[in-house]
Structure 1
Amino acid sequence: MEQAPKIVQVRKLYKIYDMGEEKVYALRDIHLDIRKGEICCIFGPSGSGKSTLLNQLAGLEKPTRGGVKICGQIISRMDENELAAFRQKHSGFIFQSYDLLPHFSALENVALPLMFAGVPLKERNKKAARMLRRVGLQKRMSHYPNQMSGGQQQRVGIARAFINTPEVVFADEPTGNLDSKSTKEVMEMMVAFAREYDQTLILVTHDKDMAAYADHIVTLHDGEIVQEEWKKEEEILI
């Protein structure tokens, strides 16, 4: 069976923080390939460098050395304007703290990426409503974040991340603030969307149960990749 193309390529990546007389190696000589359609889990304990790696992949931080290529473009060489345009077109984000705009309704939060993309109001509201129905929030479209539970807010975050069908969706500890029932629902929704549209989902977690949903697990320790595992199809939860 032919392998899917590489959508993320990382080569000789270092992230070093200068702490006065001491240099802290947050990432050290990272080499990594992630293929189109993969559910990739970056796994490791607190302080292992997994969130730093995600920030590098998402273009939120510049590397000290090395490079990151996504969708054929070297994002580590882009300036802030180029990165913003790239993320708008190619990336979606799901955060542990949900990062919803508090004075926007669920519908308005989900429609936000479409607004930045220049989609007319009527069309973006129609698409946002469709996404909210898909995540089971058809009765919460006009509700504000403070009127929703954590699980419901994260579903809004999922709908927002996937509404533009980006090639890559980044999820940083997306279930860290949720109970076990909501965690299962959120994981199943994210994976189902990614599978349906053949998107790449890159997930950061320290939770082994969440890693069970991935087909590619990258384990970090002290800023280095210490293990990579590719699961067989029958071993993946979804």
Structure 2
Amino acid sequence: MDLEKPLIEIRNLRKEYIMGEEVVVALKRINFSINRGELCCIFGASGSGKSTLLNQLAGMEKPSKGGVKIGGVPISHLNEDQLAEFRQKYIGFVFQSYNLLPMLTATENVALPLMFRGVPEGKRNAMAQSMLQKVGLGHRLHHYPGQMSGGQQQRVGIARAFVTKPAVVFADEPTGNLDTKTTKEVMTMIKNFAGTFKQTIILVTHDPEMTVYADRIVKLVDGEIVSNETKKQTD
């Protein structure tokens, strides 16, 4: 991956959906870039197009026009096998609904991305448990998701997203199901991990309070960017 240029480049991106005889335009000529190490907040109300944009950035959907490059790789033009390999190497995800497998322990959930990379069981479990220690769950290594609170499950999700040290982590409304105190803890954790490894975070949210954590705030209204601001962070 070419990390000298902006890590993520979105050019002339448009997404249309056919609904019967009607064409619904979800994204209209989106253009912006995200630098390596930035925490970029894609902010907007329900229906603004932010989830559609996230799907485009992560290669979950193909654009109607334009495209997305990550590290110079045109992910909009990769086939499914190429996308799966690319995500495995460079992408992590944190979800609002945690997306943990209920039949697996915390350690096993966090170790999953490492298993897909072919890391031997002993090594991947050790790496997973080390990450769980870092998110404050050293006492929950062998607990199942159903035995943990929402905040603890999200910490497992964060450990899983960061265990492979991916170049980019997508966080889709990661604090939507959490209380205020846990939200602050989770966001501080995400920001600290990203800062340590110079990772890029794409945070998608409708909550204006989340923008305080961002280096770049991209605001969407009706599928269009109405502002794209960067701000200097203070500790």
Give TM-score, length-normalised by structure 1. 0.96
Given that 1:15 and 1:26 are in contact with CA atoms closer than 8 Å, whether structure 2 keeps it comes out as: yes
Structure 1: how far apart are the matches of 2:4 and 2:185?
28
Shift of 1:5: 3.3
Question: Equivalent residue for 1:39?
Answer: 39
Flag structure 2 segments of 5+ consecutive residues without an equivalent.
none
- Which position in structure 1 is the counterpart of 2:25? 25
Residue 23 of structure 1: SS of its match in structure 2?
strand
Q: Is 1:59 aligned to 2:47, yes or no?
A: no
Structure 1 partner of 2:68: 68
Matching of residue 83 in structure 1 with residue 60 in structure 2: no
Percent identical pairs in the alignment equals 63
* Corresponding residue pairs, total: 233
Partner of 1:198: 198
Distance 2:152 2:211 in 1: 22
Q: Is the 8 A contact 1:4 1:37 kept in 2?
A: no
Q: CA RMSD in A?
A: 1.1
For 1:195 and 1:224, locate their aligned partners in 2 and report how far apart those are by CA, in whole Å.
29
| TM-score normalised per structure 2 | 0.97
Matches within 5 A, 1:189-228: 189-228=189-228
Distance in 1, matches of 2:5 and 2:105, equals 38
Q: Distance in 1 between matches of 2:189 and 2:4?
A: 23
Tell whether the 8 Å contact from 1:12 to 1:65 is kept in structure 2 after alignment: yes
Q: CA deviation at 1:24?
A: 0.7
Please list every run of at least 4 consecutive aligned residues from structure 1 whose deviation after the TM superposition is greater than 2 angstroms: none
The amino acid of 1:212's aligned partner reads V
Report whether the alignment pairs 1:160 with 2:160.
yes
What is the rounded CA distance, in whole Å, between the counterparts of 2:135 and 2:18 in structure 1?
43
Mapped contact 1:41–1:205 kept (Cα < 8 A): yes
Partner of 2:186: 186
> Helix, strand or coil for the counterpart of 2:127?
helix
Unpaired segments ≥5 residues, structure 1: none
Tell me, in whole angstroms, the C-alpha distance in 1 between the residues paired with 2:161 and 2:188.
15
